[in-house]
Structure 1
Amino acid sequence: MQLHWWNYEIGNHVEVAGILQDLKKAGKIRYVGVTNYNTARLAELIDAGVDVVSNQVQYSATDRRPQNGLAQYCRTHDVKLLCYGTIAGGLFSDKWRGIPDPGSPDFENVSLDKYYRIIEDFGGWGLYQELLEAMKTIADRHGVTIPAVASRWVLDQEAVAAVIQGARHARHIQANVELTQLRLTDEDHALIASVHARSAGPLGDAYDLDREENRDALEDVSTEYFDVENGRLVKRRRDAVIVAEPYGHHLLTG
């Protein structure tokens, strides 16, 4: 059972987590996990005696906020990180290589909008493109795809147990299979680190910025959105009311 708590000023998340702990002791649930907890809030649960086994957080090569204390704390207290956003909603792909900056977070879906904002925090579209080229070099070296490299990089990080991948189409399956077989070398990691050395952020602990700026409230589906067609940035139009395509998610471990 995973606990997510959007506003810590409302209610008592420690008390609720304690109820889950009681249910665990009674055999009603097997494990207690949390979602988007930063280090301080997770510590409140651990200090209260809640046996938290996992924390689901956003983690990618452009969003390394778990490295700002959370991963180290999780390692010490045997809490595993389950990571989403590892391929930035599809922005870590050949499709977006060499594409000019759209200039605003107006994409096909709210996930892409969210990860575009992270790219701005990371250091901008230009640095993101350099990261894509580094990942392309690594992908070609191993005969795999950019999404496989992006997710493998996250799996190699401290305290990470699994990544959460969306597979909406059959074409996504191959990248997921590649991921389970891929092993990055020290040279591969050094190449990615050379881009990270010029990154500006995002700063802070896991999900803090999202809460502070209430970014989920900014995720709105526009009638016009940016896409890529035949290697060129284009703007498409759609009706105001859209039924989102269902996502299929599964865990991929190292």
Structure 2
Amino acid sequence: MQYDQLGATGAFVSRIALGTMTFGGAGTPPWNVIGGLDEKAADEIVGIALDGGVNLVDTADMYAGGECEEILGRVLGPRRRDVVLATKLFVRMGKGPNQVGLSRLWVTQALEDSLRRLRTDHIDLYQIHSFDPLTPVEETLGALDDAVRQGKIRYIGASNLAAWQMAKYLGASDLGGLSRFVSQQVYYSLAGRDIEREILPLAVDRKLATLVYSPLAGGFLTGKFDRDGSSDEQSRRAQANNPPVDPDRAYDIVDALRAVAERHGVGVPRVAIAWVLAQPGVTSAIVGARRPGQLTETLAAADLELTAEDLRELDEAGALPPSYPGYVQSAPSNRLPLQG
């Protein structure tokens, strides 16, 4: 396993992180489709990940209505000290008017609830799960900063923010002397490259770690889906188009992945994840699993080195169309030194 810095901090995280959204929720849609793993199965998955060198484990309070955090807290046990434990808050967790969002009231309560479910006295990386248009960013950051000073949080991060929203939080932190986001968790794959326009460049410029979820586009890039309509009917992707994928474009990407995979003698998923890890600014790829074999395959992606030709072929297959103002700013610059 390889490791990279968590943004501008002195902490290091594994380039493959374990996502735990498959833990818990058996019999409760949509979690039974996503995973529904019981404690015994979750313990096996966690053991394989840690034995493989993974030290970043990600969850969220809303996964399986809190059951995911509870299972993870139990299976980690004494191994808790060996991981960088990350969780998230924002999504509604109860019927009360304040059991949702990023108000000081809910940040404080949600953190205590996660600490209890995870059986720990601190969260290593506490992340907001989305943007709250109703709560001033200073209020959210103030509540998070208080928890950092109390020792209940080590670092803070964000997930699913637009570039302007992240910039707003970072600016407020700088102006107010408050704890600053060190990471962003975002969707990124060969079939979903929107973050390349604004979100990833901002992260590189501001030295944020980028933690990528769904690097296989929710299973579409596993190689199990073909133009002829064949697919793994038991997979989550077969039952829900999430994250959204343009199938015509994505099938071209799968064809390119297969060609590269054949050259290296590996599976398609390994190549898809290796491509994500090869992109400038990407710190870790978060992978989940319902079966041990799935995790073993994806962990090996950290050691797959793609050639320049591999990267060129894959990039061309999934390239974004030009957009404004990118195509203007990438044109030959008028700031070149004058000649003569």
Q: Under a length normalisation based on structure 2, what TM-score does the superposition of the two structures give?
A: 0.52
SS of residue paired to 2:297:
helix
Question: What CA deviation, in whole Å up to 9, does each residue of 1:56-102 have, x standing for no partner?
Answer: 11111111111111111111111111111111222112321343399
Query: Does structure 1 retain, via aligned residues, the 8 Å contact 2:219–2:236?
Result: no
After TM superposition, give the deviation of residue 44 of structure 1 in Å.
1.1
How has the CA–CA distance of structure 1 residues 18 and 56 changed in structure 2, closer, same or farther, with 3 Å as cutoff? Answer: same
Q: Give SS of 2:191's match.
A: coil
Letter in 2 for 1:97: D
Q: CA separation in 2, counterparts of 1:177 and 1:196?
A: 23
The correspondence of residues 138-217 of structure 1 with structure 2, limited to 5 A, is: 138-197=260-319
Mapped to 2, the partners of 1:109 and 1:14 lie a distance apart of 38
Q: Give 1:127 deviation, angstroms.
A: 2.3
Which amino acid in the other structure matches residue 270 of structure 2?
Answer: A
The structure with more radius of gyration: 2
**Distance of 1:67 and 1:3 partners within structure 2:** 21
| Equivalent runs, 1:50-129 vs 2, <5 Å | 50-100=179-229, 109=236, 113-115=240-242, 118-120=244-246, 125-129=247-251
Kindly state the Cα deviation for residue 155 of structure 1 after the two structures are TM-superposed: 1.2
Contact preservation (8 Å) 2:217, 2:245: no
- Structure 1 residue 182: deviation in Å? 0.3
Q: CA deviation at 1:113?
A: 2.1
Structure 1 residues 183 and 126: alpha-carbon distance in aligned structure 2, compared to 1, 3 A threshold = same
**Cα offset, 1:37, TM superposition:** 1.1
CA contact (8 A) 1:54 1:81 kept: yes
Match of 1:130 in 2: 252
Please say if residues 72 and 158 of structure 1, whose CA atoms lie closer than 8 Å, have aligned partners that are also in contact. Answer: no
Query: How far apart, in 1, do the equivalents of 2:221 and 2:322 lie?
Result: 17
CA contact (8 A) 2:212 2:285 kept: yes
Secondary structure (helix, strand or coil) at the match of 1:81 reads: strand
User: How many residue pairs end up in the alignment?
Assistant: 194
Q: CA deviation at 1:19?
A: 1.5
C-alpha distance 181-114 of structure 1, shift in aligned 2 (>3 A): same
Residue pair 2:260, 2:271 contacting (<8 A) in 1 also: yes
2:133 to 9, 30, 46: 9
Counting aligned pairs with the same residue, the percent is 27
Task: State the shift of 1:12 in Å.
Answer: 2.5
Structure 1 pair 202–137 and aligned structure 2 pair: CA distance change class (3 A): farther
2:216 maps to amino acid: I
CA distance 1:112–1:20, change in 2 (3 Å): farther
Structure 2: state its 5+ residue gaps: 1-125, 174-178, 325-340
Distance 1:195-1:74 versus aligned 2 partners, 3 A rule:
same
In structure 1, list runs of 5 or more residues that go unmatched: 204-254
Distance 1:149-1:142 versus aligned 2 partners, 3 A rule? same
Q: 1:215 aligns to what?
A: none
Q: 1:26 Cα shift?
A: 3.5
